[in-house]
Structure 1
């Protein structure tokens, strides 16, 4: 008689544990895949990044902590967290409720939305982590400061910009001295807005005097010493001081304050899209907002200097001394070698210029449809101070002094935020807008 060895099946409790672990792993992989797919498709604005918005898995930290749901932490007794019909109920004392970690992108504006009710003092934070698991430099963003609630349900919304070295984040909900009910938390990439759209192919009914904003948000820009060319569908800047000047009533829309004055993550990101060509030596300020050269403001230059070097230069300053940040793409005169952009061929080129809102030596510039930013060369002297760069001056296209732009402009767009059309990143929009060398133009009126 031959005996047969048999393998015992795992105990039922072990089977359940294995199934639970596999199920959690599967859900986490699906979440990561979904977010990645949305980001790659340029539709990240639609995805809720919170892993468990229905509070299906809530455990106390240090006892039965869960990696794919929420964990609560005792801070001041008595405190407790439980779930009631897809709502998290926090009672304190003081208690923290943390979401599971989720992947995020660097220097990106995120918005949070949730419904809350109760009588507790309530606040919302996001904590940011680097790829190696260490905290980022600006580790904690307070989106909602402690605020006493009433019993009525309120929808809370807030936004912040992620640090430039972040990889993951989690939400922290805080309740103090009372009762708090939380429903439907959402974290997603914030949608940018098209603030200005100018196209010389559709300049409006009086192209020699006014340049019409096609968004309908702004009043017409005044044309000063600038010639409109129907043949090239462009405005030609060939005289000293030639510019298109915005209406003062629209000025505040384009101030774009930085973190230096408002706090980490609260500066205003923006992107300038420019279709232009150089016809001769050009100074700074093809798109700018300055009261005068000694006041606060910002400027983007398409420059061609006396050394034959061309570049995109960005400037943010609170005065005209050392309190300013200057960046050159791909170089600066006297710094970083004799690096040329390569746009002096008297042809139109597309530039997508993104400023993060930090006020630091950063930003990206994408040239002729490339999804890779030009190298950044920073001016090594000085840095933007903590004073505001806001001013009462109008937006100007062309120059802010007699040494301004010499060339032609086909179209200009200005977007707020870190995402552009259909949730595209500036890099993705560069490729889309360039359209293989044939950028779409507005239809004439």
Structure 2
């Protein structure tokens, strides 16, 4: 059987399983999630051993530390995956929710209720925890899932998916509610994207290249999870100590995540006061600065520990996912907003300003209203763009598009709705 036939056969099995899963009760789906969590803990040694094979191969390939960090699993991370599945059980059932109800002019009772999408395909890179997260969210929302993980995590993904599939079957659901494409042949991803009518939606999670390829080539509708060229803008009214702490957290909490700040914008009027301090703080955490002329001058004033190179035009549009940051000085909120809207990826953007002053409050309101992004912050770190932090529970990604889902999306975004109509013999003239 060729790759295309193999992928199609797998997706058809998932479609069959989705019918049974959609009819399962909320309790049955929660039982499956609990079984999945228990199975991960029971098989933690097998999962970690499979991951060690992936880690060894990745190191031999010279994979970066940021990617290795995403790839690595240990007992604590496997337990965190299990805990995330258990937390899903505590969330409300997103299915069969009555969204609207009324009696039509002809006496027919109309009700709009939430239903699953059907078969969800998730294409992702070297993050094996996504295997459990995506499977759990899909099962909770009544969707069968076809998982296509990156080749770097092939052994990890296969081991996790097998554990989850067997756990679902152990409580009476079809094993194929969780399906994983195990071949490392890249043609499998393209084959999956062609299955319009079998796969209902495709969700890419990864770098800009993967997302662009899926958007441009998929015949299956795509929910676009975005890259994160996120900004922190420090207004001239900002409390500079607060601003320093926000910048350091947004950049350095984790370098390899999509909500990390990649560009710092600072009002020119406070640049010489603020930048030496914040650049020194970033340097303590190993961050390389790509600065404009003013930023580079301030880097010299900050001391020898600050590494700074002249920024190019490309730096303003770069998602580093590494200990690097671009720094630019701007003349006020209008220029900052224009820069963010030109170079940002519509993910997460922040302003730091004094809301108690007229100028600061006006800048905040302008920034929040005019910046085009899924999440906009005033006086807080971009690191909070996360489904759990937003009170949404486990997320399947951060959407930077505007149709269907935007920002952290989880259970509700994996449902659609249908109209249920009850009559007593009405016919239309």
TM-score using structure 1 length: 0.29
For CA contacts below 8 A with separation 6 or more, give which structure has more relative contact order.
Answer: 2
Which of these two proteins has the greater Rg computed from alpha carbons?
1
TM-score, normalised to structure 2, is 0.30
**Higher helix proportion:** 2
